[in-house]
């Protein structure tokens, strides 16, 4: 706890340690993130590099952020929206002191998987984080921005926590205008699926994915046209067949398909941006420099400094 003394504000006095996680007095709510709590309690280890033996998460982190693993040792990192702790694990592996924020019950999954005296876990929304501004060397926010009510406000809020010469890294879903299996089937159904109870939605996905997966794989293997055909069929199926960073056993592929299809259909908010819009908004952020590009879940933003 003493490692984080300089990062904690007086507001932290209203938090209490429960099962290794700091929670605001009154217990805290999952707010609009109940689906993520269910998701990561159902799939607590699926994405962890230490479980898969494949460095999918590590490669994504350093490939998208441009950070060096050696640069993390002894540095303070604020991780916003940690889910089950896939990135937390990597940050701790390379010697960072990590404060991780997660509003859903998934924070307890992270706590059970990542035991370290260099880790502080807080169950809270970003706008209510009890931390000092401009006090972290790195700020990481992957797989989160598109799932917040106001992505632009979320970017601005995250950046406030970085030191004057610190670095932030974000990714966000990309808004696209061509047939894609990662896009149209999801947004076709989301007006309905977001109204279902998360438990009901998960059961439905668990029922159809194992039966539909083989047919989806058949279409996927059609040269050239398969990708676009799947993008026009309104049946969501996150199919990682042929992906080098996912175990290709049927059990693993079905597990990933159920998990990420649920992720796509169940999030209360899902707001993709174009790269052009991200660049336009980043020009207004109070940072010394920035870079936008493609990577991660779609598009990425890396910033340097705060002014």
Residues 276 and 196 in one domain: no
Averaged pLDDT score across all residues of the chain:
94
Residue 179 forms part of a structural domain:
no
Confidence of residue 190 (pLDDT cuts 50, 70, 90): very high
Report the pLDDT value the prediction gives residue 13, as an integer from 0 to 100: 81
The answer to whether residue 173 scores a pLDDT higher than 80 is yes
Residue 127 forms part of a structural domain:
yes
Residue 129 forms part of a structural domain:
yes
272 and 147 Cβ atoms separated by less than 8 Å: no
Report the pLDDT value the prediction gives residue 219, as an integer from 0 to 100: 98
Confidence of residue 4 (pLDDT cuts 50, 70, 90): confident
Q: What are phi and psi of 91, to 5 degrees?
A: -60, -45
Report the pLDDT value the prediction gives residue 24, as an integer from 0 to 100: 82
Report the pLDDT value the prediction gives residue 28, as an integer from 0 to 100: 57
Distance CA 132, CA 223 (A): 53
CATH of the domain at 150: 3.40.50.150
Report the pLDDT value the prediction gives residue 197, as an integer from 0 to 100: 96
Find all residues with CB under 8 Å of 107, minimum gap 6, and list them.
21, 82, 100, 121, 122, 123
Residues 82 and 207 in one domain: no
Q: How many domains does the chain have?
A: 2
Residues 117 and 193 in one domain: no
Q: What is the mean pLDDT of residues 52-68?
A: 97
β-strand partners of 78: 99, 139
Residues 153 and 101 in one domain: yes
- Over residues 67-122, the pLDDT tens digits come to 999 999 999 999 999 999 999 999 999 999 999 999 999 999 999 999 999 999 99
Report the pLDDT value the prediction gives residue 179, as an integer from 0 to 100: 95
Label residues 247-282 b or e (16+ Cβ within 10 Å = b). Answer: beeeeebebbbbbbbbbbbbbbebbbbebebbbebb
139 and 159 Cβ atoms separated by less than 8 Å: yes
Residues 67 and 203 in one domain: no
Report the pLDDT value the prediction gives residue 1, as an integer from 0 to 100: 56
Find all residues with CB under 8 Å of 214, minimum gap 6, and list them.
none
Residues 110 and 233 in one domain: no
- Over residues 259-299, the pLDDT tens digits come to 999 999 999 999 999 999 999 999 999 999 999 999 989 99
- Over residues 108-167, the pLDDT tens digits come to 999 999 999 999 999 998 888 889 999 999 999 999 999 999 999 999 999 999 999 999
Residues 154 and 194 in one domain: no
Residues 245 and 291 in one domain: no
Distance CA 26, CA 180 (A): 44
Q: Which residue range forms the structural domain that includes residue 8?
A: 2-174+272-304
Instruction: Give how far Cα 104 sits from Cα of 12, 108, 109, Å.
Output: 18, 9, 10
Instruction: Give how far Cα 12 sits from Cα of 118, 122, 132, Å.
Output: 18, 10, 10
Report the pLDDT value the prediction gives residue 7, as an integer from 0 to 100: 73
The answer to whether residue 15 scores a pLDDT higher than 90 is no
Report the pLDDT value the prediction gives residue 288, as an integer from 0 to 100: 98
Report the pLDDT value the prediction gives residue 127, as an integer from 0 to 100: 80
Residues 133 and 196 in one domain: no
Q: Which helix (H) or strand (E) holds 20?
A: none
């Amino acid at each position: 706890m003493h490692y984080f003394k300089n990062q904690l504000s007086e507001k932290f006095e209203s938090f209490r340690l429960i099962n290794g996680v700091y929670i605001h007095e009154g217990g805290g709510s999952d707010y609009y993130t109940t689906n993520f709590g269910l998701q990561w309690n159902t799939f607590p280890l699926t994405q962890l590099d230490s479980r898969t033996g494949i460095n999918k998460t590590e490669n994504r982190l350093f490939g998208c952020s441009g950070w060096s693993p050696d640069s993390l040792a002894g540095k303070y990192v604020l991780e916003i929206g940690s889910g089950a702790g896939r990135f937390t694990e990597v940050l701790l592996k390379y010697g960072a002191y990590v404060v991780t924020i997660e509003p859903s019950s998934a924070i307890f999954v992270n706590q059970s998987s990542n035991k370290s005296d260099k880790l502080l876990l807080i169950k809270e929304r970003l706008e209510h984080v009890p931390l000092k501004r401009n006090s972290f060397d790195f700020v990481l926010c992957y797989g989160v921005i598109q799932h917040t009510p106001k992505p632009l406000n979320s970017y601005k809020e995250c950046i406030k926590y970085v030191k004057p010469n610190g670095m932030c890294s974000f990714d966000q879903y990309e808004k696209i205008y061509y047939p894609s299996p990662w896009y149209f089937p999801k947004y076709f159904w989301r007006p309905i699926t977001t109204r279902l109870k998360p438990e009901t939605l998960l059961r439905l996905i668990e029922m159809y994915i194992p039966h539909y997966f083989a047919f989806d794989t058949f279409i996927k293997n059609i040269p050239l046209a398969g990708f676009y055909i799947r993008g026009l069929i309104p049946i969501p199926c996150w199919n990682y067949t042929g992906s080098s960073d996912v175990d290709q056993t049927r059990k693993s592929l079905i597990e990933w398909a159920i998990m990420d299809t649920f992720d796509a259909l169940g999030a209360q908010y899902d707001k993709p941006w174009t790269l052009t819009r991200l660049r336009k908004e980043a020009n207004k952020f109070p940072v010394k420099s920035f870079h936008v590009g493609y990577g991660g879940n779609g598009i990425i933003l890396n910033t340097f400094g705060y002014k």
